[in-house]
Structure 1
Amino acid sequence: MKFEPSEIESLAAALATCLEEIVEDKLASIVASSKVPEILSTEQAALFMGVDAQTIRREARRGRLPHLKVGKKNRYRRQDLLAVFEVPVGRKTTLPFSEEKQEVAQFN
């Protein structure tokens, strides 16, 4: 069976779209069930998203990243981080948090 170059390109694009959707769904379920706290500090948010802490602070200061004020510190919701920062396909976004070493206040 032979395919024309245009058919191959079309199939490759369709396959890439399908794979991206599958990976995004899987990533969302992994993050939702992971030990990453729902509320993160600036440093934790930066580590979680794979960016510098200054990037987190800058986006919050510019109003692009919703945050909570706890005293003088900013706290960030996990789902806000995922919504604001585009997560590349296949990128691992989980932190090595242990249940006994979570230093994040739980807000419910």
Structure 2
Amino acid sequence: MYHYAPLIIISLHLSMVLFSFTLDTWSTSQGDTAQILGTGAGVTLASHLNHQLGLMSDPPLDLLPLSPSALRTCLLPVAMPRFCLCMLVLLATRALMKAITIPLPCSI
């Protein structure tokens, strides 16, 4: 909930990528580690943003424990466009981050 949390999250994950290996060249294990840490940073930043914008509030205590809703056919027309839109955003974000984050540790 700290105001500077995004800066701390990014710098912490980036420093973990930079100092996790001491090899002279980029290896696949470094790429895997960078992708895992990047995913963790993204999840953490999204959680922080959801909290700051008030998009994710705790459910009232009288609704706990939560039970899953029944699957209905009327959910399909709503779920499929949402799924497709999310996949497009995910692929665009992945392409952008891959273009930015892989050359960054190599240049540093």
TM-score range, shorter chain: under 0.3
**Greater strand percent: which structure?**
1
The TM-score normalised by the length of structure 1 is 0.27
The TM-score normalised by the length of structure 2 is 0.27
**Greater helix percent: which structure?**
2
